[in-house]
Amino acid sequence: MPTSATAVEAFIESLPKVELHVHLVGSASVPTVLELARRHPDGPVPVDERALRAFYEFRDFPHFAEVYESVSSLVRTPEDVATLVVGVARDLAAQNVRYVELTVTPYTHQRAGMPMPAVTEALDRAAREARDRLGIRVAYIFDIPGEFGADGARGTLDHALRHPPEALVGFGLGGIEQMRPPHRDAFRDAFAAARAAGLRSLPHAGEMTGPETIWEAIEGLGAERIGHGTHCLGDPRLVAHLRETQLPLEVCPTSNVCTGQIPDLAAHPLPRMLEEGLFVTLNSDDPPMFDTTLTGEYRVAAEVFGLDRAALAALAGNAVLASSLDVDGQRDIIADIDAVV
């Protein structure tokens, strides 16, 4: 007879999942990054596996951002972009992930000299291959790299409006949150234009700063979901607002520890967020960089946070309901989750 731990592990593996918070470059597997690094040996990324894994040991979030930018610099052609998309789709499909909203930062590709139409064609081609060959639906979120301020906002919006991929569903904002205030109006204007074009507002907020950044995402950017949001608990009024509105929060526990935002998993606020009645989804962020997977995050929820099968299934269902899937697509995955439960 299987042990309880083995049974929970089997349950997690069989659970249909949706991934809402994962970055294209950050999702590149170690072998893929090594391939790119060896293809572009003039870049700043190690070409040896042991050295690369050491390269992924982050001191803090600014160091993580520096490493992420270094890996981004290896993505120099539209074919590289397509390879990354298919690679993450393959990894997620193996975890029984049915749908992913993949965050792409097109401004970095513009800076590398890639034409917008060529990047879009690569994204479209990769999404079709993921659907037809791997059985996973890929949607895209275009993400402003916050460190580039108004230029990054304009470049990201320009691509989203003039050359959108077929599966573009959302508009995001990432990077170091402390650098946002001087560019607040540019970010607000870009989000207003993106929302007017029918894109969902899906910014990161409250990962490395406090509740004030989450309030700005809600009131200034019209957020429909919050990336991370883990520092919301410091403001009772914000907690009450999030509970009342059931605004989804994309929580990435291992990421928060690896970037130094939370001291360790035992101190992570996810259990209290659930106790407060907040709408939480579970996500992997940059899985190979953090030595995790989406399935691994569900294991953390079970083993560290003590969530039972019903709670794990509820998190999986939350991700479906918070997604940009059409009603039929959501209904089908929810039915499959219910069947496993």
Q: Which residues are catalytic?
A: 207
Among positive and negative, which fits the CA dihedral 75, 76, 78, 83? negative
Among positive and negative, which fits the CA dihedral 240, 243, 248, 251? positive
Distance CA(17)–CA(62), nearest Å, equals 31
Distance CA(319)–CA(326), nearest Å, equals 13
Whether 74 contacts 35, CB under 8 Å: no
Residue carrying the six token digits 């993400």: 143
Question: Which DSSP string corresponds to 227-290?
Answer: EE-TTGGG-HHHHHHHHHHT--EEE-HHHHHHTTSSS-GGG-SHHHHHHTT--EEE--BSGGGG
Question: Which DSSP string corresponds to 48-90?
Answer: SHHHHHHHT--SSHHHHHHHHHHHHTT--SHHHHHHHHHHHHH
> Can you list the pairs that 308-313 forms with residues at least 24 positions away whose Cβ atoms lie under 8 Å?
309/8, 309/11, 309/341, 310/341, 311/274, 312/11, 312/12, 312/15, 313/15, 313/337, 313/340, 313/341
H or E, element range at 340: helix 327-340
Give the amino acid at 17: K
